């Protein structure tokens, strides 16, 4: 059992090291991913380990795509990426991405 688990982890590690690099970009309003024919998508964060994040990308032309984002891939931009993920997954931004405008009330004197 232990040997098969170790082999599976080794295979997964090797696959991750050879995985295709794609570009994920936040323009302040929506995410763009180079892996989609239509690149605009929404992002959902599932796990955050500070130097590694599990996210899913959702787009109208197919099922979600799951990605492990890792600091080692773009160390200089990592903090900016993490901030964008947190900002983009805030409830207000999620509603905007889905076309729902959150109404705010203002007090009138």
3-state secondary structure the chain: CHHHHHHHHHHHHHHHHCCCCCCEEECCCCEEECCCCCCEEEEEEEEECCCEEEEEEECCCCCCEEEEEEHHHCHHHHHHHHHHHHHHCCHHHHHHHCCCCCCCCCCCC
Is 2 within a domain?
A: no
Cα gap 60→77, rounded to integer Å? 28
Is 83 within a domain?
A: yes
Domain count of the fold of the chain: 1
Host domain of residue 87: 22-97
Is 89 within a domain?
A: yes
Is 14 within a domain?
A: no
List the pLDDT tens digit at each of the 109 positions of the chain: 666 655 554 555 555 555 667 788 888 888 888 877 767 888 999 999 999 999 999 988 888 989 998 888 878 889 998 998 988 776 665 555 554 333 333 344 4
Radius of gyration of the chain (CA): 18
Is 91 within a domain?
A: yes
Does the pTM surpass 0.75? The reply is no
Q: What is the pLDDT of residue 60?
A: 83
Q: How far is the CA of 105 from the CAs of 20, 92, 102, 108, in angstroms?
A: 46, 15, 10, 9
């Amino acid at each position: 059992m232990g040997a098969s688990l170790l082999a599976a982890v080794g295979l997964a590690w090797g696959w991750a090291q050879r995985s295709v690099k794609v570009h994920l970009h936040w323009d302040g309003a929506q995410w763009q991913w180079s892996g989609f024919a239509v690149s605009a998508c929404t992002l959902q964060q599932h796990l955050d380990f500070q130097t590694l994040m599990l996210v899913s990308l959702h787009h109208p032309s197919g099922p979600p795509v799951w990605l492990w984002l890792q600091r080692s891939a773009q160390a200089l931009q990592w903090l900016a990426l993490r901030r964008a993920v947190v900002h983009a997954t805030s409830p207000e931004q999620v509603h905007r991405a889905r076309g729902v405008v959150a109404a705010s009330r203002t007090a009138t004197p």
